[in-house]
Structure 1
Amino acid sequence: MKRLVLFAAVALAIANGIGAAAAAELPIYESTGFPITAHQVSVMGAGHVEEASSVPALTLGGMPASPSQIQVLTVHKQLLGGKPQS
């Protein structure tokens, strides 16, 4: 019986410690501008790897957007034969 009480006390202490040590969000890494997982960092090495910002750096109209999304969504004027294309 003494062993059961001790085991219950240890289990309760571990359960209380797990909630306090949990991370709110896992870190995101990038290498030369491309997203990379923690496993890829461990395999490929940590050269040129940075932790990505959790706040988007680029926005379009107040919404987060990647550089390719901004390029696609912005209006482009192309000249064909000297006349602007509408």
Structure 2
Amino acid sequence: MCLHQRVAAPLDAVESIITDIPNAARTLSGVNAVEMLTEGPYRPGTRWRETRRMFGMDATAEMAARTSGSCSRRRPHRSADWERGWPR
């Protein structure tokens, strides 16, 4: 699965928000809570539990960063496919 959305903002600003996992509940709609499972900055191996409101119900999933780097690679930093080892 690949999602794209054009944003009228500098790449560094967008990447800064997307990789700020501890504050995702404030910056991403639908995210209610985040529990960090690793310490330190966003990098390969960063793990967290994220609770989202979907279809009127709360759902919690464990997420992991498999790679890091510039958003210009056109890879989502957060998705269900991410945990399954995406990018393929």
Shorter-normalised TM-score: what interval?
under 0.3
TM-score, normalised via structure 1 length: 0.21
**Quick check: which one's helix share is greater?**
1
TM-score, normalised via structure 2 length: 0.20
Question: Which protein, 1 or 2, shows the higher relative CO under an 8 Å CA cutoff with sep ≥ 6?
Answer: 2
**Quick check: which one's strand share is greater?**
2
Larger radius of gyration: 1
